[in-house]
Structure 1
């Protein structure tokens, strides 16, 4: 009897120790190796404050917009990846990514500011969920009665899905077979977009080619060698912007070697050029020769009107010039020059402009640099209330308060002509 009781005691103690060891070990297992987390199916998150409402119109800064559009942490943890994907695509500020000097930079900015997108990019099944969404896309599904703005919004929705799939973190979750399925779908969508060039234009092809090119580069060593040898191909696959017809053709040929050569009906193409500061310093720039489609322009105009109702749109959306070009080079609406950083820095590093500081007097129409967000503006006289005029990426030229734009206004430098 005593032996049995001792045996039972030893067994009981062994069980307790085992449980403690399991608990300790579980705390040290990486998240990726943990058992799948049960997710609920309550649907996509419903943002409590949305564009078009009185509550949204009352928001006085971009920071306030960011604050009211974060998803509660507990909700994020319990949300299925499919519902999280819908939440990300419905994020009111997602299309801010078009307001930056490249689509990849814009995506990165949005991702760093929205906790829902950050969480989605960390999900181990993000790729498979998005692939299903992408397979359901039909660029030719545009209905005859759709307005230009509706057509452009459909194009923007496709772009949002493609930019998510273009991210390494998402594609890394796909199996080799899924990668091939994705590649096949990009080819099909590219061909379909070509049939509706009036809606998707050259920029629509760029978005699809970005996904296509990044998939091929990870699978095909010979194409990677081709990329290494060509700066323009490297830059496009890095930024997602400024692909010549030749670059697009190379990507499609690498993705589908048996396919017939593609033509994009683009008669001209963007090219590198040089502009000069007032002190004659050379600045590398891009001469932009193609414009957004009417659908894309209408959709972009509608976006800034809805999301930034306190700002004033002064022009139509345009991909022909950006904030740096407008502020430092040419304020005409016929401007067709795009200047990327660090080109804008040259205007003050060569002495053409002087950074304002006390005890200088205040000057009208000073140039403004958003130091923490690669944006330029012009300060315009408005009494005691600061007011800026700036071009928002491929969005329109806008008149706005310093903190009422897609950019981080926490640190501003002002410059006047030397």
Structure 2
């Protein structure tokens, strides 16, 4: 992402005490490279609107210092705000694996992976050093918790949301969960048989998301294709090397940066075929 956007996010986005106004949006967009994709700008606006919303779950720990609080407004850098998000005052071992996941999903920066060229690297930056996520990854049932939370989600409910801001915030959160699933160490917690079953269920969720593609956006297809390819590689199956030159797939496989839609379309077609044959 252009440095101007990151600067705008760091310097402006997290200062608003309440939901930002139209003037606040103008302030952000003024800093944005005018040639950058309009859809990315829309995503940034959606993130702005979603900040400070109360989570759907009642959590035992829920970021006392977060957007909209005096504590948050007094902080002046992203690093300070990341430090303020650390879980304190509660023994992490008393939190269930699913609780740790749900707390991580409510992290004030969780959706900001979209503000990076590489969503994978963006999510890594978001969660870097966060003690709740570090504890979550240490749990032997971490991937099971991810599967349980993700697969019990009814994506169809997105059509009941009152406005595009709610829809966008919801879609970015669920895509963020998919990005968390792309962690090699977490994928290794599944057996080959479990991976096959996982892909079948992932495909079912992807089909539902396709019905609401205007909300979930192209990044949804990209992350689904990436996760499918990652799991197939872990089981010794190669889907891209025989069809594309190395330079055409390197940035996608290494950083989830899409230079061409052809590999994505190829993988999603193979995803359909894989599920039908398994």
SS of 1:174's equivalent in the other structure is: coil
Shift of 1:245: 3.0
Maintained 8 Å contact 1:216/1:254: no
The CA distance in 1 between the partners of 2:118 and 2:104, in whole Å, is 20
Q: Does 1:59 align with 2:75?
A: yes
Alignment of 1:123-142 (within 5 A): 123-142=139-158
The CA distance in 1 between the partners of 2:206 and 2:104, in whole Å, is 24
Q: Does 1:193 align with 2:209?
A: yes
Shift of 1:128: 0.6
TM-score with structure 2 length normalisation?
0.70
Q: Over residues 281-322 of structure 1, what are the superposed CA-to-partner deviations in whole Å (9 max), with x where a residue is unaligned?
A: xxxxxxxxxxxxxxxxxxxxxxxxxxxxxxxxxxxxxxxxxx
The CA distance in 2 between the partners of 1:95 and 1:252, in whole Å, is 24
Maintained 8 Å contact 1:122/1:169: no
Q: Does 1:245 align with 2:261?
A: yes
- In 2 relative to 1, CA 49–238 (structure 1 residues): closer, same or farther, beyond 3 Å? same
- In 2 relative to 1, CA 44–182 (structure 1 residues): closer, same or farther, beyond 3 Å? farther
Shift of 1:211: 1.5
Q: Over residues 138-182 of structure 1, what are the superposed CA-to-partner deviations in whole Å (9 max), with x where a residue is unaligned?
A: 333213452111010111111111011111111111222321222
Alpha-carbon RMSD: 2.5
5+ unaligned residues in a row in structure 2: which ranges? 1-57
Greater gyration radius: 1
The CA distance in 2 between the partners of 1:259 and 1:157, in whole Å, is 25
- In 2 relative to 1, CA 140–226 (structure 1 residues): closer, same or farther, beyond 3 Å? farther
Alignment of 1:145-224 (within 5 A): 145-223=161-239
- Show the counterpart of 1:45: 61
> Normalized per residue, which structure has more helix?
2
5+ unaligned residues in a row in structure 1: which ranges? 1-41, 261-418
Maintained 8 Å contact 1:189/1:208: no
The CA distance in 2 between the partners of 1:73 and 1:223, in whole Å, is 48
Q: Does 1:95 align with 2:103?
A: no
The CA distance in 1 between the partners of 2:244 and 2:136, in whole Å, is 31
The CA distance in 1 between the partners of 2:100 and 2:116, in whole Å, is 25
- Show the counterpart of 1:350: none
Q: Does 1:75 align with 2:81?
A: no
- Show the counterpart of 1:367: none
Shift of 1:227: 8.0
Alignment of 1:334-373 (within 5 A): none
Q: Over residues 236-290 of structure 1, what are the superposed CA-to-partner deviations in whole Å (9 max), with x where a residue is unaligned?
A: 1221231633212221233332679xxxxxxxxxxxxxxxxxxxxxxxxxxxxxx
Maintained 8 Å contact 2:104/2:133: yes
- Show the counterpart of 1:110: 126
Maintained 8 Å contact 1:44/1:84: no
Larger relative contact order, structure 1 or 2 (CA cutoff 8 Å, min sep 6): 2
Alignment of 1:232-271 (within 5 A): 232-242=248-258, 244-257=260-273
Q: Over residues 182-203 of structure 1, what are the superposed CA-to-partner deviations in whole Å (9 max), with x where a residue is unaligned?
A: 2112222222222222112212
Maintained 8 Å contact 1:76/1:116: yes
The CA distance in 2 between the partners of 1:216 and 1:138, in whole Å, is 26
Alignment of 1:262-411 (within 5 A): none
Runs (4+) of structure 1 moved beyond 4 Å? none
> Normalized per residue, which structure has more strand?
1
SS of 1:256's equivalent in the other structure is: helix
Maintained 8 Å contact 1:111/1:117: yes
TM-score with structure 1 length normalisation?
0.48
Shift of 1:49: 1.3
- In 2 relative to 1, CA 58–145 (structure 1 residues): closer, same or farther, beyond 3 Å? same
